[in-house]
Amino acid sequence: MLVLRRGIADPTADQRRRETASPTEIFRPGLLRVTVFGALLGLGSHGGYYALTTFLPTYLHTTRHLSVMSSSGHLAVFIAASFLGYLASGWLSDRIGRRRNVVLFALCCLVTLIPYLLLPLDDLGTLIAGAPLGFFFASRGYVVVTIDHTYEASEVAFPNGDLATSVFPDLLGQADLDVTDVLRTSLRTRVDDTRFVLDELGGLRHDPRLPAGLAASLDLDRIGMAGHSAGGFTAVQAMHDDPRIAAAVNLDGQLHFPGPDGHTGVVLPTVAQDGLDRPFLLMGTRNEDSGDYHHQPGWDALWQHSTGWHADVTLNDSRHGSYTDAQSLLPQLARQGAITPEQLGEDVGDGRPDRAVLATRSYVASFFDRWLRGHDDHLLDGPSPRFPEMEYAR
Protein backbone atom coordinates (compact mmCIF):
# COMPACT_ATOMS: atom_id res chain seq x y z
CA MET A 1 0.00 0.00 0.00
CA LEU A 2 2.89 2.36 0.74
CA VAL A 3 4.38 1.77 -2.70
CA LEU A 4 1.07 2.22 -4.50
CA ARG A 5 0.32 5.51 -2.76
CA ARG A 6 3.44 7.13 -4.23
CA GLY A 7 1.87 7.14 -7.69
CA ILE A 8 -1.33 8.98 -6.78
CA ALA A 9 -1.33 12.75 -7.08
CA ASP A 10 -3.59 14.86 -4.86
CA PRO A 11 -6.27 16.59 -6.99
CA THR A 12 -7.08 20.17 -6.02
CA ALA A 13 -10.58 21.40 -5.24
CA ASP A 14 -10.35 23.88 -8.12
CA GLN A 15 -9.62 21.13 -10.60
CA ARG A 16 -12.63 19.14 -9.41
CA ARG A 17 -14.89 22.15 -9.90
CA ARG A 18 -13.62 23.01 -13.39
CA GLU A 19 -13.60 19.54 -14.92
CA THR A 20 -16.73 17.81 -16.13
CA ALA A 21 -15.70 14.27 -17.05
CA SER A 22 -17.62 11.29 -18.33
CA PRO A 23 -17.69 8.08 -16.27
CA THR A 24 -15.12 6.54 -18.62
CA GLU A 25 -12.69 9.44 -18.25
CA ILE A 26 -10.80 7.69 -15.44
CA PHE A 27 -9.84 4.89 -17.84
CA ARG A 28 -8.17 7.07 -20.48
CA PRO A 29 -4.43 6.44 -20.93
CA GLY A 30 -3.35 9.45 -18.91
CA LEU A 31 -5.40 8.44 -15.85
CA LEU A 32 -5.53 4.64 -16.05
CA ARG A 33 -2.42 4.15 -13.89
CA VAL A 34 -3.79 6.46 -11.19
CA THR A 35 -7.20 4.75 -11.34
CA VAL A 36 -5.73 1.28 -10.88
CA PHE A 37 -3.40 2.32 -8.08
CA GLY A 38 -6.16 4.28 -6.34
CA ALA A 39 -8.52 1.31 -6.50
CA LEU A 40 -5.87 -1.01 -5.06
CA LEU A 41 -5.13 1.48 -2.29
CA GLY A 42 -8.81 1.72 -1.35
CA LEU A 43 -9.17 -2.07 -1.46
CA GLY A 44 -6.15 -2.52 0.80
CA SER A 45 -7.12 0.11 3.37
CA HIS A 46 -10.80 -0.83 3.62
CA GLY A 47 -10.05 -4.54 3.58
CA GLY A 48 -7.43 -4.10 6.27
CA TYR A 49 -9.84 -2.14 8.46
CA TYR A 50 -12.56 -4.79 8.28
CA ALA A 51 -10.05 -7.59 8.75
CA LEU A 52 -8.72 -5.97 11.92
CA THR A 53 -12.08 -5.11 13.47
CA THR A 54 -13.37 -8.61 12.75
CA PHE A 55 -10.18 -10.33 13.88
CA LEU A 56 -9.54 -8.48 17.16
CA PRO A 57 -12.48 -9.83 19.26
CA THR A 58 -11.77 -13.38 18.06
CA TYR A 59 -8.05 -13.03 18.79
CA LEU A 60 -8.70 -11.80 22.33
CA HIS A 61 -11.08 -14.66 23.02
CA THR A 62 -9.31 -17.60 21.35
CA THR A 63 -5.63 -16.69 21.73
CA ARG A 64 -5.64 -14.51 24.83
CA HIS A 65 -8.47 -16.56 26.41
CA LEU A 66 -10.23 -13.46 27.65
CA SER A 67 -13.88 -13.50 28.67
CA VAL A 68 -16.43 -11.21 27.04
CA MET A 69 -16.25 -8.80 29.97
CA SER A 70 -12.45 -8.76 29.99
CA SER A 71 -12.11 -8.23 26.24
CA SER A 72 -14.56 -5.33 26.32
CA GLY A 73 -11.91 -3.16 28.00
CA HIS A 74 -9.43 -3.90 25.21
CA LEU A 75 -12.04 -3.08 22.56
CA ALA A 76 -12.95 0.15 24.38
CA VAL A 77 -9.31 1.23 24.30
CA PHE A 78 -9.09 0.39 20.61
CA ILE A 79 -12.28 2.34 19.78
CA ALA A 80 -11.30 5.36 21.87
CA ALA A 81 -7.87 5.45 20.28
CA SER A 82 -9.46 5.18 16.83
CA PHE A 83 -11.48 8.32 17.55
CA LEU A 84 -8.32 10.17 18.50
CA GLY A 85 -6.78 8.85 15.30
CA TYR A 86 -9.57 10.43 13.22
CA LEU A 87 -8.88 13.83 14.79
CA ALA A 88 -5.12 13.57 14.40
CA SER A 89 -5.42 12.35 10.81
CA GLY A 90 -7.60 15.30 9.81
CA TRP A 91 -5.23 17.75 11.49
CA LEU A 92 -2.17 16.19 9.83
CA SER A 93 -3.82 16.11 6.40
CA ASP A 94 -4.16 19.88 6.51
CA ARG A 95 -0.48 20.30 7.34
CA ILE A 96 1.49 17.60 5.53
CA GLY A 97 -0.97 16.61 2.76
CA ARG A 98 -3.17 13.57 2.34
CA ARG A 99 -0.56 11.44 0.60
CA ARG A 100 2.07 11.82 3.32
CA ASN A 101 -0.63 11.35 5.96
CA VAL A 102 -1.81 8.03 4.48
CA VAL A 103 1.77 6.76 4.22
CA LEU A 104 2.53 7.79 7.80
CA PHE A 105 -0.56 6.15 9.30
CA ALA A 106 -0.14 2.95 7.27
CA LEU A 107 3.50 2.64 8.37
CA CYS A 108 2.66 3.32 12.02
CA CYS A 109 -0.16 0.78 11.93
CA LEU A 110 2.21 -1.86 10.58
CA VAL A 111 4.79 -1.02 13.25
CA THR A 112 2.21 -1.32 16.06
CA LEU A 113 0.50 -4.45 14.71
CA ILE A 114 3.64 -6.59 14.66
CA PRO A 115 4.52 -6.29 18.38
CA TYR A 116 0.82 -6.55 19.30
CA LEU A 117 0.68 -10.01 17.75
CA LEU A 118 4.21 -11.35 18.20
CA LEU A 119 5.59 -10.03 21.49
CA PRO A 120 4.87 -12.06 24.66
CA LEU A 121 2.64 -9.36 26.21
CA ASP A 122 0.52 -9.97 29.29
CA ASP A 123 -3.13 -8.85 29.38
CA LEU A 124 -2.20 -5.36 30.56
CA GLY A 125 0.39 -5.05 27.81
CA THR A 126 -2.18 -6.13 25.21
CA LEU A 127 -4.61 -3.55 26.58
CA ILE A 128 -2.03 -0.77 26.27
CA ALA A 129 -0.88 -1.93 22.83
CA GLY A 130 -4.45 -1.72 21.55
CA ALA A 131 -4.38 2.10 21.83
CA PRO A 132 -1.82 2.86 19.08
CA LEU A 133 -3.28 0.06 16.97
CA GLY A 134 -6.71 1.67 16.98
CA PHE A 135 -5.24 5.18 16.67
CA PHE A 136 -3.47 4.49 13.40
CA PHE A 137 -6.12 2.26 11.84
CA ALA A 138 -8.71 5.02 11.74
CA SER A 139 -11.96 4.74 9.78
CA ARG A 140 -13.58 4.57 6.37
CA GLY A 141 -13.40 8.35 6.20
CA TYR A 142 -16.92 9.34 7.28
CA VAL A 143 -17.76 11.84 9.98
CA VAL A 144 -20.49 10.15 12.06
CA VAL A 145 -23.01 12.16 14.07
CA THR A 146 -25.48 10.43 16.40
CA ILE A 147 -28.73 11.93 17.68
CA ASP A 148 -30.49 11.45 21.01
CA HIS A 149 -34.21 12.26 21.03
CA THR A 150 -34.91 14.04 24.29
CA TYR A 151 -37.88 12.78 26.34
CA GLU A 152 -38.18 9.72 24.08
CA ALA A 153 -34.83 8.07 24.82
CA SER A 154 -34.64 6.46 28.25
CA GLU A 155 -32.35 9.27 29.36
CA VAL A 156 -30.43 12.15 27.77
CA ALA A 157 -27.67 13.94 29.71
CA PHE A 158 -26.91 17.59 28.91
CA PRO A 159 -23.52 19.30 29.30
CA ASN A 160 -24.73 21.23 32.36
CA GLY A 161 -25.54 17.96 34.15
CA ASP A 162 -29.32 17.98 33.63
CA LEU A 163 -30.87 14.59 32.92
CA ALA A 164 -34.03 14.31 30.82
CA THR A 165 -35.87 10.98 31.11
CA SER A 166 -38.44 9.41 28.82
CA VAL A 167 -42.11 10.42 29.03
CA PHE A 168 -43.25 7.26 27.26
CA PRO A 169 -43.80 5.08 30.36
CA ASP A 170 -46.32 7.60 31.73
CA LEU A 171 -47.98 8.09 28.33
CA LEU A 172 -48.47 4.37 27.72
CA GLY A 173 -50.26 4.07 31.05
CA GLN A 174 -53.09 6.40 29.97
CA ALA A 175 -56.39 4.61 29.34
CA ASP A 176 -57.62 6.97 26.57
CA LEU A 177 -54.28 7.19 24.74
CA ASP A 178 -54.45 7.84 20.98
CA VAL A 179 -51.46 5.78 19.83
CA THR A 180 -51.50 7.22 16.31
CA ASP A 181 -51.27 10.76 17.63
CA VAL A 182 -48.40 9.85 19.98
CA LEU A 183 -46.43 8.16 17.19
CA ARG A 184 -47.03 11.03 14.78
CA THR A 185 -45.80 13.50 17.39
CA SER A 186 -42.77 11.32 18.08
CA LEU A 187 -41.85 11.13 14.39
CA ARG A 188 -42.34 14.86 13.89
CA THR A 189 -40.10 15.56 16.88
CA ARG A 190 -37.44 13.16 15.60
CA VAL A 191 -37.41 14.87 12.20
CA ASP A 192 -37.23 18.30 13.86
CA ASP A 193 -34.30 17.05 15.97
CA THR A 194 -32.54 15.87 12.82
CA ARG A 195 -33.00 19.16 11.00
CA PHE A 196 -31.80 21.08 14.06
CA VAL A 197 -28.62 18.97 14.13
CA LEU A 198 -28.05 19.64 10.41
CA ASP A 199 -28.40 23.37 11.08
CA GLU A 200 -25.87 23.14 13.90
CA LEU A 201 -23.39 21.21 11.76
CA GLY A 202 -23.25 24.14 9.36
CA GLY A 203 -21.97 26.32 12.19
CA LEU A 204 -19.43 23.75 13.32
CA ARG A 205 -17.46 24.17 10.11
CA HIS A 206 -16.35 27.54 11.46
CA ASP A 207 -16.26 26.69 15.16
CA PRO A 208 -12.79 27.48 16.56
CA ARG A 209 -13.32 25.00 19.40
CA LEU A 210 -13.03 22.04 17.01
CA PRO A 211 -9.71 20.71 15.69
CA ALA A 212 -9.03 22.26 12.29
CA GLY A 213 -8.90 18.92 10.52
CA LEU A 214 -12.24 17.77 11.91
CA ALA A 215 -14.04 21.00 11.08
CA ALA A 216 -12.62 21.02 7.56
CA SER A 217 -13.69 17.43 6.95
CA LEU A 218 -17.42 18.23 7.28
CA ASP A 219 -18.75 17.97 3.71
CA LEU A 220 -22.37 19.05 4.13
CA ASP A 221 -23.06 18.58 0.43
CA ARG A 222 -22.87 14.80 0.94
CA ILE A 223 -25.04 13.86 3.92
CA GLY A 224 -26.44 10.38 4.45
CA MET A 225 -28.68 9.15 7.25
CA ALA A 226 -29.23 5.66 8.59
CA GLY A 227 -31.39 4.40 11.42
CA HIS A 228 -32.84 1.26 12.94
CA SER A 229 -36.52 0.69 13.73
CA ALA A 230 -38.10 4.10 14.47
CA GLY A 231 -34.72 5.55 13.53
CA GLY A 232 -35.06 4.02 10.06
CA PHE A 233 -38.55 5.52 9.75
CA THR A 234 -37.04 8.86 10.79
CA ALA A 235 -34.20 8.60 8.26
CA VAL A 236 -36.44 8.32 5.19
CA GLN A 237 -39.02 10.81 6.52
CA ALA A 238 -36.27 13.33 7.28
CA MET A 239 -34.88 12.89 3.76
CA HIS A 240 -38.39 13.50 2.40
CA ASP A 241 -38.68 16.71 4.44
CA ASP A 242 -35.12 18.03 4.11
CA PRO A 243 -33.26 18.19 0.75
CA ARG A 244 -29.89 18.33 2.52
CA ILE A 245 -30.04 14.56 3.10
CA ALA A 246 -28.79 12.89 -0.08
CA ALA A 247 -29.26 9.20 0.80
CA ALA A 248 -30.90 7.16 3.56
CA VAL A 249 -30.94 3.62 4.96
CA ASN A 250 -33.93 2.19 6.83
CA LEU A 251 -32.92 -0.79 8.97
CA ASP A 252 -36.15 -2.67 9.73
CA GLY A 253 -38.29 0.36 10.50
CA GLN A 254 -41.98 0.17 9.62
CA LEU A 255 -43.34 3.05 7.53
CA HIS A 256 -46.92 3.24 8.75
CA PHE A 257 -48.83 4.16 11.88
CA PRO A 258 -51.46 1.91 13.43
CA GLY A 259 -54.95 3.17 14.19
CA PRO A 260 -55.79 4.96 17.45
CA ASP A 261 -55.99 1.65 19.35
CA GLY A 262 -52.38 0.85 18.44
CA HIS A 263 -53.22 -2.51 16.86
CA THR A 264 -55.50 -2.17 13.83
CA GLY A 265 -55.48 0.06 10.78
CA VAL A 266 -52.77 1.50 8.53
CA VAL A 267 -52.02 5.23 8.38
CA LEU A 268 -49.33 6.16 5.86
CA PRO A 269 -46.84 8.99 6.51
CA THR A 270 -46.09 11.58 3.85
CA VAL A 271 -42.85 9.87 2.80
CA ALA A 272 -44.80 6.73 1.86
CA GLN A 273 -47.52 8.71 0.13
CA ASP A 274 -45.18 10.93 -1.90
CA GLY A 275 -42.14 8.68 -2.36
CA LEU A 276 -38.52 9.84 -2.63
CA ASP A 277 -36.48 11.22 -5.51
CA ARG A 278 -33.10 10.35 -3.95
CA PRO A 279 -31.47 6.97 -3.20
CA PHE A 280 -32.64 4.85 -0.29
CA LEU A 281 -32.03 1.32 0.94
CA LEU A 282 -34.55 -0.83 2.85
CA MET A 283 -33.15 -3.66 4.99
CA GLY A 284 -35.74 -6.02 6.47
CA THR A 285 -35.62 -9.02 8.80
CA ARG A 286 -37.65 -12.19 9.31
CA ASN A 287 -39.71 -10.68 12.11
CA GLU A 288 -43.41 -11.42 11.76
CA ASP A 289 -44.16 -7.76 11.01
CA SER A 290 -41.16 -7.26 8.72
CA GLY A 291 -39.88 -8.77 5.46
CA ASP A 292 -39.42 -7.04 2.11
CA TYR A 293 -41.64 -4.33 0.64
CA HIS A 294 -44.15 -6.92 -0.59
CA HIS A 295 -45.07 -7.66 3.05
CA GLN A 296 -45.20 -4.13 4.50
CA PRO A 297 -47.82 -1.57 3.41
CA GLY A 298 -45.65 1.47 4.17
CA TRP A 299 -42.61 0.06 2.40
CA ASP A 300 -44.74 -0.95 -0.58
CA ALA A 301 -46.23 2.54 -0.90
CA LEU A 302 -42.78 4.12 -0.69
CA TRP A 303 -41.47 1.69 -3.30
CA GLN A 304 -44.31 2.38 -5.75
CA HIS A 305 -44.22 6.17 -5.38
CA SER A 306 -40.45 6.73 -5.50
CA THR A 307 -38.49 7.88 -8.54
CA GLY A 308 -35.02 7.79 -6.97
CA TRP A 309 -32.76 4.72 -6.93
CA HIS A 310 -33.88 2.18 -4.32
CA ALA A 311 -33.17 -1.39 -3.23
CA ASP A 312 -34.62 -3.79 -0.67
CA VAL A 313 -32.79 -6.68 1.02
CA THR A 314 -33.86 -9.05 3.79
CA LEU A 315 -31.54 -10.90 6.16
CA ASN A 316 -32.62 -14.52 6.58
CA ASP A 317 -32.76 -16.20 10.02
CA SER A 318 -32.92 -12.75 11.61
CA ARG A 319 -35.11 -10.76 13.97
CA HIS A 320 -35.64 -7.08 14.71
CA GLY A 321 -32.46 -6.80 16.80
CA SER A 322 -30.18 -8.33 14.18
CA TYR A 323 -29.09 -4.95 12.80
CA THR A 324 -28.07 -3.67 16.26
CA ASP A 325 -25.31 -4.30 18.80
CA ALA A 326 -27.56 -7.02 20.22
CA GLN A 327 -26.46 -9.27 17.36
CA SER A 328 -22.91 -9.24 18.72
CA LEU A 329 -23.63 -9.07 22.46
CA LEU A 330 -26.57 -11.40 23.08
CA PRO A 331 -24.95 -14.60 21.71
CA GLN A 332 -22.06 -14.02 24.12
CA LEU A 333 -24.50 -13.60 27.01
CA ALA A 334 -26.32 -16.76 25.92
CA ARG A 335 -23.07 -18.75 25.99
CA GLN A 336 -22.58 -17.62 29.59
CA GLY A 337 -26.14 -18.58 30.54
CA ALA A 338 -27.31 -15.00 31.12
CA ILE A 339 -30.21 -15.41 28.66
CA THR A 340 -31.98 -18.50 27.32
CA PRO A 341 -31.65 -19.79 23.76
CA GLU A 342 -35.33 -18.96 23.29
CA GLN A 343 -34.74 -15.33 24.27
CA LEU A 344 -31.76 -15.18 21.95
CA GLY A 345 -33.81 -16.47 19.02
CA GLU A 346 -36.62 -14.01 19.69
CA ASP A 347 -34.24 -11.04 19.73
CA VAL A 348 -31.73 -11.77 16.97
CA GLY A 349 -32.83 -15.01 15.27
CA ASP A 350 -30.85 -18.15 14.55
CA GLY A 351 -28.33 -16.91 11.99
CA ARG A 352 -24.59 -16.71 12.53
CA PRO A 353 -23.79 -13.51 14.44
CA ASP A 354 -20.54 -12.84 12.57
CA ARG A 355 -22.28 -13.12 9.22
CA ALA A 356 -25.14 -10.86 10.29
CA VAL A 357 -22.72 -8.19 11.51
CA LEU A 358 -20.62 -8.45 8.34
CA ALA A 359 -23.71 -8.23 6.12
CA THR A 360 -25.01 -5.17 7.96
CA ARG A 361 -21.68 -3.37 7.72
CA SER A 362 -21.11 -4.33 4.12
CA TYR A 363 -24.51 -3.34 2.74
CA VAL A 364 -24.72 -0.03 4.60
CA ALA A 365 -21.14 0.86 3.66
CA SER A 366 -21.69 -0.16 0.04
CA PHE A 367 -24.78 2.03 -0.19
CA PHE A 368 -23.18 5.16 1.25
CA ASP A 369 -19.91 4.63 -0.63
CA ARG A 370 -21.91 4.39 -3.85
CA TRP A 371 -24.10 7.46 -3.39
CA LEU A 372 -21.95 9.76 -1.27
CA ARG A 373 -18.43 8.98 -2.49
CA GLY A 374 -18.95 7.60 -6.00
CA HIS A 375 -17.32 4.23 -5.15
CA ASP A 376 -19.54 1.42 -6.41
CA ASP A 377 -18.58 -2.15 -5.45
CA HIS A 378 -21.77 -3.44 -7.18
CA LEU A 379 -22.92 -5.31 -4.07
CA LEU A 380 -26.34 -3.69 -4.42
CA ASP A 381 -26.79 -4.52 -8.11
CA GLY A 382 -28.65 -7.74 -7.24
CA PRO A 383 -28.34 -11.01 -5.29
CA SER A 384 -24.73 -11.52 -4.23
CA PRO A 385 -22.88 -14.86 -3.81
CA ARG A 386 -20.87 -13.11 -1.09
CA PHE A 387 -24.00 -12.93 1.07
CA PRO A 388 -26.36 -15.83 0.35
CA GLU A 389 -28.21 -15.02 3.58
CA MET A 390 -29.38 -11.72 2.06
CA GLU A 391 -32.47 -11.91 -0.17
CA TYR A 392 -32.71 -9.19 -2.80
CA ALA A 393 -36.28 -8.07 -3.57
CA ARG A 394 -37.39 -7.38 -7.12
CA dist., res. 25 & res. 346, Å (int): 51
Task: List strand residue ranges (DSSP E) for 169-326, in order.
Answer: 223-228, 245-251, 280-284, 310-315
Angle between helices 353-368 and 326-335 (to 10 degrees): 170
Q: In terms of Cα–Cα distance, which of 199, 268, 276, 266 is closest to 241?
A: 276
CA distances from 152 to 110, 231, 298, 367, 387 (A): 44, 12, 23, 29, 35
Decide which of 192 and 217 is more confident.
192
Average pLDDT over residues 155-172: 90
Q: Indicate if the pLDDT at residue 121 is higher than 50.
A: no
In tens, the pLDDT along 194-204 reads: 999 999 988 88
Q: How many residues are recorded in the chain?
A: 394
At residue 256, the pLDDT reads: 95
With a cut of 70, say whether residue 124 has pLDDT above it. Answer: no
Q: Across residues 243-267, what is the average pLDDT?
A: 90
- For the segment 244-255, what is each residue's pLDDT rounded down to a tens digit? 999 999 999 999
Residues 223-242 have pLDDT tens digits of 999 999 999 999 999 999 99
Rounded to an integer, the average pLDDT of 326-340 is: 93
What domains are there in the chain, each with its CATH number?
A: 2-136 (no CATH), 155-392 (3.40.50.1820)
pLDDT at 69 over 80: no
Q: Is the pLDDT of residue 21 over 70?
A: no
Question: Any idea which of 62-66, 179-183, 311-315, 337-341 has the lowest mean pLDDT?
Answer: 62-66
Rounded alpha-carbon distances, angstroms, from residue 313 to 150, 283, 373, 391: 31, 5, 22, 5
Task: Find, among 247, 222, 235, 244, the residue nearest to 271 by Cα.
Answer: 235
Q: Provide, rounded to the nearest whole percent, the portion of the chain with pLDDT above 70.
A: 71
* pTM of the shown model: 0.66
Average pLDDT, the chain: 81
